[in-house]
Structure 1
Amino acid sequence: MKSLSCHVVALLSILAITLSLTNASDPSPLQDFCVAIDTPADGVFVNGKFCKDPKFVTVDDFFKSGLNKAGTPNEKTGSVVTLVNVNQIPGLNTLGISIVRIDYAVNGQNPPHTHPRASEGLVHFQANVGKYPAVAFAGLSSQNPGAIVIADTVFGSNPPIQPNVLAKAFQLDTRTVMDLQAKFKK
């Protein structure tokens, strides 16, 4: 028995020493810059894009014109979202950011949504900007944040979620849920 306890103590000591030397974390996505290009001209592949040779980087790689111009809101939501990410500004590659402009019509709204693996900061201006009464700008903590619109996902899922399940979850009657699902069918 004494021999077994010595072995257990020795094993625990080795594990304690070994575990204290381990380190696990996500690598930092940030670096000085890595201007994205579509073709691998002997470039390095970083964050899903190839990097342009730093000798050929220009100011235009960090610029996008047109954010000062309003978009045309769609009739369904009364808003339009203009996303500017690494695909529009190649210099955003590896910086972990993107920008959004949202133009609102009268009584327009940006539907409830989420961005996977991204946070969003929004600045909303209530003023006449061009022909629309309001505009907002958002900064996102991802170079390509994606968007999941909650109503589209819940009521427009394929295959559809059972109406009785949604009725119970949203405290609605089944007929109302079925009507909502019909509006979101693709």
Structure 2
Amino acid sequence: MTLTVQDHQHLSIDITTDQSICTGAGTLLVADTANTLGIAEVLDEHLAGLTPSAVTHTAGTVMTSLAVALTAGATCLDDLDLLKPLVATGLTRPIDSMTTAHRRIHQLHDHADLVDDKMTRAMRQARTLAWNALGALNPIASATRDDPLIIDIDASLIHIHSNTQNGRTDLQRRLRVPPPVRLRRPRTGSGR
């Protein structure tokens, strides 16, 4: 499998909202990646038996569409309408009604005790598909014991804002993942 981002430069799609996580191009990238990797099918494979098998709009389709809609600024399941411009491109599958989407989510909720494990397995398979799709560009391919791949998210900040009237930041936390012990980096002001 080769991961290629299709040429969408000819598309003039503006699906961003004031709550968008990324631009329209970013949403296209997420949709194209999910489509190329077959994320809906991976989810359906792992969630089989939790929802009816003879349905057009499967749990995988609804969950994948919801993930793409979140990047476009969706705040709830009813915001799947944000994806209508993407349906025309074939990057997302149409979901005929919000009732259908709600029904799939409720069916998963009815099996909440099983969904967590199944979703964890599905995400693991999706990550494997994504890394493998990179082929020779996969950074793991060149990582060795002496020269490991280190993903450092030391400086990432998480901000959560209250949705209440006149809300201010009610949680600001620094997310720090320390590097491996054998890798020492000088810290300013630490004397080392």
Q: TM-score, normalised by structure 1?
A: 0.21
Structure showing the higher strand proportion among its residues: 1
Q: TM-score, normalised by structure 2?
A: 0.20
By relative contact order (CA 8 Å, sep 6+), the higher-ranking structure is 2
Bigger-Rg structure (1/2): 1
